[in-house]
Amino acid sequence: MLPAVAAMFAAGVALAAPASADETGYFTALTEYGYGDTAQDVALDLGYSVCQDLANGVPMQVTLDAIYENTNENVNYEDANFIYKTAIVHLC
């Protein structure tokens, strides 16, 4: 399990939003994709963990694997890729 993602979920730590973060746009994109029932705090933790991994130079595939492995069984690799890219566009 990716340490940054594991720490985020285990500790429930929320990262401070960067000044350019567009949380509304992030939630809108997730809802339009079909993840509107995901709790906002969970979605934000996941999105900001993507940003943290990106800032730390974690390879994209490692983060995608962590998203896939640490979310519910309804998230496939295509979904993980969408979540990854959406977080970068709206939160990072």
Residue 2 has pLDDT above 70, yes or no: no
pTM of this prediction? 0.74
Nearest CA to 49 out of 15, 83, 12 is that of: 15
Share above pLDDT 90 across residues of the chain, in percent, rounded to a whole number: 50
Taking each helix axis from N to C end, the angle separating 60-70 and 40-55, rounded to the nearest 10 degrees, works out to 160
The per-residue pLDDT for 9 is 40
What are the residues whose beta carbons fall under 8 Å from the beta carbon of 26, sequence distance 6 or more?
43, 44, 47, 86, 87, 90, 91
Domain spans of the chain, in order of start: 3-11+21-90
The per-residue pLDDT for 18 is 53
Would you say 73 and 52 are in contact if contact means Cβ atoms under 8 Å apart?
A: no
Mean pLDDT of 21-49: 88
Mean pLDDT of 63-85: 88
